């Protein structure tokens, strides 16, 4: 009797320690039907080339976002739209004129908004082409968390892109709470390849995200992306930060 009880307890602990199963179960519960309101803000920076010939562009914009039974709505401040109009007129005179508002506004796509406010779908998508490696425990922002480490595979790329990639490495880490709900994540990807037999390229990319649960919705409240690469004799760097302030 005692032996059976011990085995039962060990079995229960083993199931509880399966972070991947807990994560998948939590993602399935996060259907994203809870009404949400807040401000989405994007900051974009990129540089192409080197030295005096390098071209740098940056952008910054925000929008009010509402998602509920009537669907997704976005509202832009009139001052932002007015600045975009000024930049459009300036570029007509000088094609090299700076256009930070236009660049920022261009990044505020419905796809970006959907990924930020329905982050469970994004995390679930990452798991489709990831191989579980390890699970550990640590403190995340003062609270207990489990860290799941995955190896990413080239299968996450399209068939067209995959045929050009010769060397690919990628890892992902997801911090989850005791119920399996994501708290944060990081991904690192490095790839090298050759296109059209003569053009070699390489890219390094790192992305980190923080999440917040709102009802049955997982919201990505902050994403930071850094990327650097080279190809066809050119070099480029990108640094993007996206935040969502829940109201």
Q: Say which range, 28-32, 90-94, 232-236, has the weakest mean pLDDT.
A: 232-236
Strand order in the sheet with 217-231: 71-75, 55-68, 36-48, 234-246, 217-231, 199-214, 182-195, 165-176, 143-152, 130-140
Euclidean distance between CA atoms 189 and 166, whole angstroms? 14
Give the mean pLDDT of 21-48: 95
Euclidean distance between CA atoms 8 and 32, whole angstroms? 35
The reported pLDDT for the residue numbered 15 is 40
- Residue 13: which pLDDT band, with cuts at 50, 70 and 90? very low
Alpha helices in 44-139 (DSSP H): 78-93, 100-107, 110-117, 119-128
Which of these, 56, 55, 103, 47, lies nearest to 229 by C-alpha position?
A: 47
Please check the confidence at residue 12 and state whether its pLDDT lies above 70.
Answer: no
Please check the confidence at residue 88 and state whether its pLDDT lies above 80.
Answer: yes
- Residue 10: which pLDDT band, with cuts at 50, 70 and 90? very low
Are the beta carbons of 71 and 36 closer than 8 angstroms?
no
Tell me the whole-structure pTM to 2 decimals: 0.85
Residue 21 carries which DSSP code?
A: H
Please check the confidence at residue 233 and state whether its pLDDT lies above 80.
Answer: no
Please check the confidence at residue 114 and state whether its pLDDT lies above 80.
Answer: yes
Tens digit of each residue's pLDDT (9 = 90 or more) over 187-212: 999 988 887 666 788 889 999 999 99
Does 103 or 175 have the greater pLDDT score? Answer: 175
Neighbours of 193 (CB within 10 A): 18
Token pair 């595979």: residue: 153
How far from 206 is each of 89, 145, 171, 202, CA to CA, in Å?
Answer: 36, 22, 10, 14
Beta-carbon contacts of 214 under 8 Å, excluding residues fewer than 6 positions away, are 34, 36, 246
Q: Say which range, 75-89, 105-119, 153-167, has the weakest mean pLDDT.
A: 153-167
The reported pLDDT for the residue numbered 197 is 60
CA 33 to chain centre: 21
> Domain of 140?
2-246
Which of these, 168, 210, 202, lies nearest to 186 by C-alpha position?
A: 210
Domain count, the chain: 1
Please check the confidence at residue 6 and state whether its pLDDT lies above 50.
Answer: no
């Amino acid at each position: 009797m005692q032996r059976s009880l011990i085995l039962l307890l060990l079995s229960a602990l083993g199931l509880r320690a399966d972070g991947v199963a807990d994560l998948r179960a939590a993602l399935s519960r996060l259907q994203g039907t809870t009404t949400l309101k807040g401000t989405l803000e994007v900051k974009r920076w990129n540089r192409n080339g080197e030295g005096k010939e390098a071209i740098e562009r940056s952008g910054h914009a925000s929008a009010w976002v509402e998602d509920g039974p009537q669907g997704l709505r976005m509202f832009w401040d009139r001052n932002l739209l007015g600045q975009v109009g000024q930049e459009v007129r300036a570029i007509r005179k000088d094609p090299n004129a700076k256009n930070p508002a236009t660049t920022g506004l261009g990044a505020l796509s419905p796809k970006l908004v959907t990924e930020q406010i329905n982050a469970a779908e994004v995390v679930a998508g990452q798991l489709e082409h990831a191989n579980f490696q390890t699970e550990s425990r640590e403190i995340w922002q003062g609270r207990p968390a489990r860290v799941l480490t995955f190896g990413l595979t080239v299968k996450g790329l399209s068939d067209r892109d995959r045929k050009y990639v010769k060397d690919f490495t990628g890892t992902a880490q997801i911090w989850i709470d005791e119920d399996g709900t994501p708290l944060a994540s990081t991904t690192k990807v490095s790839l090298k390849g050759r296109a059209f037999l003569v053009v070699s390229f390489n890219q390094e990319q790192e992305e980190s995200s923080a999440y917040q649960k709102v009802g049955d919705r997982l919201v990505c409240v902050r994403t930071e992306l850094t990327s650097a690469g080279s190809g066809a004799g050119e070099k480029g760097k990108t640094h993007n930060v996206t935040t969502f302030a829940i109201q």
